[in-house]
């Protein structure tokens, strides 16, 4: 990143609570910060600190109670459900702890899924999927089903699916949480390469300090508040 890097995510006075019966449970409390384009940001903090909630708000999966979130200059808090779904499909790639692959579809078909919502022809989809699978090193496994792949391979399929639409940001929720140390390192190296070589903005929730070390910046959440004194830069 350099001094000319643009802000890609602007968060202002963001708050979120959940309801359990008649009880209101505050999760995030008036967060304000920016994420720069091309940044690799790690969100850390104890369970229940609001990390995944914040990630879901940035990705447009959930809605804030109060505040604004602008991504690429678009205030996603003002979008309708249909507009938000369309925005997500075109701007956000998702990587989950447990991969979220469809068991009855091959690696190729899982990666192709997001493209079925586009106007691309079959031959164009094939080309895009082949490129994505080559980036994650799995062209030789494209006909395999998730159950025939290791955990690390399944996560690489999930990463290929996340980048298939060339999103502006990638959100990753504990992407190495279900992997052994070797597989986790391979996935983190791949994410680091996507960030460095393809300029992808990556926002990652993790409990693992080794995973967080791959990030340019670490933000710590505690009880829904950013602990600015514990923010780290690399």
For every residue of 202-213, DSSP letters joined together read EEEE-S-HHHHT
DSSP 148: G
Token pair 């229940």: residue: 48
* pLDDT score at 191: 93
- Tell me which DSSP letter residue 5 carries: P
By DSSP bridging, strand 217-222 and strand 40-44 are parallel
The DSSP 8-state label assigned to residue 52 in this structure reads H
Higher pLDDT, 22 or 155: 155
Q: How confident is the model at residue 2 (pLDDT cuts 50, 70, 90)?
A: very low
The contacts found for 109-114 with CB under 8 angstroms, 24 or more apart, are 110/146, 110/157, 110/158, 110/161, 111/142, 111/157, 111/160, 111/161, 111/164, 112/164, 113/161, 114/89, 114/161, 114/164, 114/165
pLDDT confidence of residue 234: 55
CB atoms within 10 A of CB 20: 7
Residues 6 or more apart whose Cβ sits within 8 Å of residue 47:
none
- pLDDT at position 233, please? 61
Indicate whether 140 pLDDT > 60: yes
Structural tokens at position 49: 């600190």
Instruction: Determine what percent of the chain is predicted with pLDDT higher than 70.
Output: 95
Q: How far apart are CA 68 and CA 75, in angstroms?
A: 7
- Work out the average pLDDT over 176-191: 90
Read off the pTM: 0.90
* Residue 56: pLDDT band with limits 50, 70, 90: very high
Q: Where are the domains of the chain?
A: 7-233
pLDDT value of residue 1: 45
User: At residue 231, does pLDDT exceed 70?
Assistant: no
Chain centroid to Cα 215, Å, comes to: 13
- Report the pLDDT averaged over residues 200-222: 91
Residues 208-219: what's their mean pLDDT?
Answer: 90
* pLDDT of the residue at 224: 84
List Cα–Cα distances, 93 to 33, 36, 49, 114, in angstroms: 21, 17, 23, 10
Q: What mean pLDDT comes out for the span 65-90?
A: 92
**CA-derived radius of gyration, the chain:** 18
- The pLDDT, as a whole number, for residue 228 is 59
Average pLDDT (59-66) is 92
Decide: 183 and 155 in contact? Cβ < 8 Å: yes
> What DSSP character marks residue 121?
-
Structure confidence at residue 8 as a pLDDT band (50, 70, 90): very high
- State CA 110 to chain mean position distance: 17
* Domain at 7-233, CATH homologous superfamily: P-loop containing nucleotide triphosphate hydrolases (3.40.50.300)
CB atoms within 10 A of CB 45: 21
E strand or H helix at 160: helix 151-163
Each residue of 103-135: pLDDT tens digit? 999 999 999 999 988 888 999 999 999 999 999
CB-based contact 193:19 (threshold 8 Å)? no
Say what the pLDDT of residue 103 is: 96
């Amino acid at each position: 990143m350099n001094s000319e890097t643009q802000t890609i995510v602007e968060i202002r006075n963001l708050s979120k609570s959940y309801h359990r019966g008649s009880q209101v449970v505050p999760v995030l409390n008036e967060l304000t910060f920016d994420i720069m384009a091309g940044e690799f940001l790690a969100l850390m903090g104890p369970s229940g600190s609001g990390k995944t909630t914040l990630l879901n708000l940035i990705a447009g999966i959930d809605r804030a109670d109060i505040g604004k979130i602008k991504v690429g200059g678009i205030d996603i808090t003002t979008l309708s459900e249909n507009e938000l779904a369309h925005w997500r499909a075109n701007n956000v790639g998702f990587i989950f702890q447990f991969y979220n692959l469809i068991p009855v579809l091959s690696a190729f078909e899982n990666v192709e899924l997001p493209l079925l919502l586009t106007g691309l022809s079959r031959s164009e989809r094939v080309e895009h999927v082949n490129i994505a699978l080559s980036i994650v090193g799995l062209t030789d496994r494209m006909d395999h089903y998730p159950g025939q792949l290791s955990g690390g391979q399944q996560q690489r399929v999930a990463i290929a699916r996340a980048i298939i639409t060339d999103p502006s940001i990638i959100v990753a929720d504990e992407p190495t949480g279900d992997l052994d140390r070797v597989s986790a390192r391979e996935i983190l190296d791949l994410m680091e390469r996507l960030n460095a070589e393809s300029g992808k903005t990556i926002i990652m929730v993790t409990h693992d300090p080794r995973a967080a070390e791959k990030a340019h910046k670490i933000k710590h959440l505690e009880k829904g508040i950013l602990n600015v004194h514990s923010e780290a830069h690399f």
